[in-house]
Structure 1
Amino acid sequence: MNISRFFGSTSREAMRQVRIALGPDALIVSNRRVNGGVEILATDATSVPESAIRDAAVPPAAPMPNQAAGMRQEMTPPPGPDNVMGAIGALRGALEGRMDDLVWSHQMRRSPVAVNLFQSLLAQGFSTALLRAMLKRLPDSLGARAALQWVRTELETHLPVLRSEDALWQPGLALALVGPTGVGKTTTLAKLAARAVRRFGPERVVLLTTDTYRIGAHEQLKIYGDLMRVPVHIVQDVQQLRSLVLGVRPDQLILIDNVGISQRDRYVREQAALLAGAGRRVQRLLVLNAASQGDTLDEVARSYAQDGGTPLSGCIISKVDEAIKLGAPLDTAIRFKLPIHYVSTGQKVPEDLRFMSAAELVDAALDVRESQRPLYSPTQGDLAALLESGGQSVQEQEREQERRARVLPRLLAAASAGGPVSVEQARHAAAVLDERLACAEAYDFWRDLHAPADQPDVGQAVQRGEALMRAARQEMTDLDVQRLLVIHAEHVLAGSQDQVSLAYLFSPYGQALSVPYYQRVSAADWSDSRGVRTLHKPSSGQALNQAMEVLNAQAAPVSLLHIFEGGSPTLWRQWAAMPADWLALVPGATSLWHKDGKTTPNALCKQLTFHAISDLPARLRLESLGRVRLNEISLWQAHARVQLPQRNAAPLSFDLILLRIVRRHDGKVLKTRFALAHVREGFEPIAPASLACYMMLRAEAQEMARLLPSVLDVLPDVESVDQEQLRLLAAGQMSLAAWDLLQAPENRSVRQLSGRLLGKSGLKPGQSVDALVKMLVLKEAMS
């Protein structure tokens, strides 16, 4: 049975989709209201086998009257109204469960991307229940890279974490750690106590323990208390606990260590009743052992969440240093809605306790170690065998291919203005776009901004900017590259006097990645993509300082090389003191010192020996530079150590990089550029030839500036400030993607197809935005 899922904002809209896809004779399987609209499961009536109808009519669990010879039929009374309604409800539940299984099975068979994600995430410890609920909503049009980013965003969105440490540490806090034996409650409580002492002082912290069962348990906590000069009290019963709690000042913090109890022990409820009778509201945090199995964590969370005490306030994940994977504790936190407060990463007190954001936790959970072998989860071969055992995968795939074969050619014929386009060509081009990070992120922005029902939430631009940085960082991790390039460029927005500064991220090979940050200066104020807005307009140097600080913090542990134009001796001194590497393009008349004499880059250009960069195509994997094809020019570089004198201090030393761009066929020097380079001591040095190539990349920012007005013209108008922030990020990302469409050798097939869609024999720089939009629309139509 080929079950399809349809979603609409109203029942009328969902039914319209059903009629378009399956015709007027479609069989409606179920109709239910979900968040944001109505969901309908439907199928073509001709595809329903008779066996499925018989199975639906008779529940599998219902016994037949004479199942075996000699079996005595039991006489049962006629069913009453309650029994009838119960039987109908059970039958409906069985049918809905069966149909849901069919839909999930059908999606897994027709989506290799979903299968790969399911297998990968299952290996990282996530439960089938969570993966099933999440991957059912996976858009069909996404490639492997975009689908992984979608999953990452979904996990970050739904993973509950403590808003900030300040939200927990309030005067009068009473906090108790609960959980099974051996999960590290006492050590974790000592770490929390050290943080409380650092914030409030030892006189405002009190430690209690109810653990009188383990030998030496209270002595261990007392040792920690003596080291921190914090009193420790032992509690035997609820009366003693209430007396101690009521004797504590209202502004003092109470931290309670509890005896570890198995989740199957009846004493779990007694412990919950003990804490509930403390006379002050006690926040209970469940300690989850990251090294435990997912089923164990599920049982622990369910037992403590249903123990009859006050609701759990959240959880702390312990023993992360002993765990192979982090999917299970994060999965448990999501399903039981337990905000993660801290993560314990070792035995050291108080060092090994971290406060982590949702993004950091998800990154850690999705980090696949080379030595990790998924012995306890199915491999791709196992999943393939399981899917084939369904018996209908081949037929369903054939029907899906037939449907696409009928619809897609008509769509492609209507979209093409320069000749026929095959379905395979369109699919290949869409796959190429998915593999290019800049284009994949541009597609996500395009789809989000053109979705009328989805309005950006407050802070969504901030989250998207951080996600763009994480995606670029992950790209570099996959390529085993330790440094990213950040090209800072300023543009004046068309039709206004507003100036926007964008930060373009590139790989060391010139691969366009993302635009995670911008700053905007208007006639009224200054703002950036984090939502910061001020009437004070910083100078260009101050603005660049702030951009470098923000991006360095987001990129850690990956290093950044900031590339920009201009500066002054004062600013160069400031930037040299910052924990950052940078490359500043400077004029030829800049005053410098070289070998104890005053000089300029123009003068040194006549003295130094230039060397050809013979491996230019390997250093910059691009089609052209400055609208000139890479095979038509050659680059020559020279470098020297220069100094910048400063009063009452030793001079600062920089590397001066000199670059000449020479036309191959006649040897004419097309352009000469100069730059000062600063790379921190102790970090991986950068070859002068690479720095010279990066100077060429900085010049490409002007090409992106020419594309920005065209991108803004095709994006929808916005009304709110949050929408405008998202629109500017989208404009930056799409201008980078349009440039990548023209420059990346991997995009040659996409350029050919987009040119055909535009009715052109080849793409010119001014047509790249139109070509990108055509491809994004085609990709959306194919989905």
Structure 2
Amino acid sequence: MSVAKFVAANGREALRQVREAMGPDAVVLSNRTVEGGVEIVAMRDTDLGAISSNAPVFTPPPATVAVDGALGDLRGELQNMRAMMERQFAGQAAAVGTHSLPATGGDPLRDSLFNWLVTAGFSGQLARTLLGHLPLGHDRPAAMTWIRQELARKVPVLGDEDALFAQGGVLALVGPTGVGKTTTTAKLAARFVLKHGPERLALLTTDTFRIGAHEQLRIYGDILGVPVHAVKDASDLRFALAALSEKHLVIIDTVGMSQRDRSLSEQIAMLGGVQAPVQRILLLNGASHGDTLNEVVHAYRHDTSPDGGIDGCIVSKLDEATHLGSVLDVVIRHRLPVYYASTGQRVPEHLELASGTALVERAFQTPRRGSVFAEAEAARRALPARGEGAAATGADGMLRSLTDSANAVSDCVDQLDGGNYGFDLVRTLWQQRADSAPSARLMAQHVRESVCRDLVRQCDRFVLALSAVVAAPAAGRRAARPWLHTLWLADRDGLPLAAAVAPGGRTAPVLQATQGGWETDAVNLAATIAATRTVVNVLDAMPAPAMLARWQTAGERWLTATRRTTRVVSGGAALKVDALADTLTFHAVEEMEYRGRAAAQWVAQAPVRVLESQARGARGAEGGIEAGLLVSRVVDLDNGQTLAVQYLLCDPALLGEGAQLARWARWAEDGEAQLRTLGHALDHLSQGERQDGAGDAAQAEGQACARLLALQMAIASLRLEQAGDTEAAAFLARLSARAPARQTPNAAVLVEGMGRLLALLDVLENYPARSGRAAVRDAAPAVSAAVSATVSTAASTAVSTVASATEADAFTDSSRMFKALAQVQGE
């Protein structure tokens, strides 16, 4: 048997010696760092085959082992039952002796399941939420099966690796130090090479700090036949990506950086400073504490730089994790897609495509011993009593209602924070507006910064602008005044990005920052958007030539629907657009669902000149406006019937965006309702009165702050309505006291519910026992503790806090507050 040891100055040289001595198919048995360099132990592949043929076949242990395992499980169940009974008696004794809240949940099954979840690493908050939705009539095995299924359903996963590799581009692995980014980079590269070959892949590393980091990745690259390059700053990265533009996929191994490192923003800005879009994949250490993981996700996802954010995650070190539930709790809380799971150091075997079911099963099957760090008992005591036998009466009932309602509010806020709704900005503006000296200028700056981040993340090349003039009352005027409402949407998916309202007229949407207030905010926001993406003004009628000239000077584009009888010139002849459509060639661009029927969309395009005179009988084909014509037909896939036809005119520069233009036109059909939401939010928050710089300086400043907050609440509500997040939306609808007529309430209802939610958060976050503004997820225990000390003091504090809430239509007395809390609890 030829087993040999090779020692060289570095890994590359040692591998070269192995290949020269034993051939390219030699098997590496081990490698380690020794004095003077690197040591590799290897053997010939032919000898490995001989060893494999003579190796004995593994024989499983006798069946009595299974019996012992069953007895062990039974012993464990009996110990759990004994501990549960002891806690029951201890809780009853404590309740009798001190007249405090019972220590247990009042339901042995729920108590046992709660401990089971918390011991696996899941937070008490998630455990309470699951048990609150547990169907009645389940025994312990059925309940455990239901909980596993619910958790697996809530874990977002990639699902299709081929789709990830097929889209190509640039993947950047980011995360703290020591989470396994370099090894995971090699694993991803190996999986790609196995499917697509090494010619279409390149590897980059920005880790110039850690000794041997570049060399380690280069060894993997040599084995795979993939080029590896090191970059040290943003200019190097841009140059390297430009040189590798012919590669289908480039994977970047970034330098490990603590979530508390102030240089984190510089690293994220480095990735955002390149021309090519970069998918950021965060590595989460499955063996880390839940609070640490939560802090890491917040640091990388909610970074203050415009280029921050992450697209997905990879869970590493599953083989080292003792409480895998913590990392699953974090990805559920933040709705962060899990791409892969790393289960060891071997490349590429120890990298699995993420599966929600497999991850949840692994979380509950991980063996555990007793731990001095276990927090199950403390978390268990926070479980509210919800059994049928625990009647809630008097002060105890009020306390339990307050605590449960705080939990419901916390769940709603977590969903709003975890989604791409912009609720974090709403809360920031709400708090700034409540300050003793609110600054509209500072709030407007925060809005523009948030819009810039959303533009970079959500838009490809364009941003859509929808406008409408709406008559609304204004202070100091007898007649209603026209107001120009503008809403900007992302070109990728129609996501509402920003909104502005300013006094307007028949000449709108021309805005000038000459009067201050409304106009200044609108103009500054529009200028910020135009500086980041090309604006496409989506209209319902052909714009005037003067307006087109202004847009052309500003570099903006336009798109409008038109009638079938519109007269245009094509090929030197004047004819109607429906007649011209019959001569064009149509191409299928996408399949879609149209009014419940499977359909396909076909489009045709042609350059035209729109005649200035559309009057019947007008002659001549001279003059006019150069434009592009797009004809869209929706055809039934089953019978070929034409279901809908739409005629669009656009800026000539957009003529090549056929499929995209048709999609934008569909989104614009909902624009009228979305624009009405802006007016509803303004009227709701300012009590139906709009002012244009009237009154003293303090009043004008307050009105400006209210306006900015109202518009951002409208944006967040529109996003929530578009996403169809039924749980958060239904909760907000109940807070607004307007039951939803459909599964997802409309944005106007959500605006009202969001205002009351913000007022309720002020109540939960400003009890005397709390210092400063704590996170809402911590509110329930603090409220419970404060109220337990003295019911009357807490109740009076709640009444006074609610009575001073800044939201105009919020709760104004204690009875309304407790009624709303009871409604949340009951529903």
Shorter-normalised TM range:
0.3 to 0.5
TM-score (norm. length: structure 2): 0.39
TM-score (norm. length: structure 1): 0.41
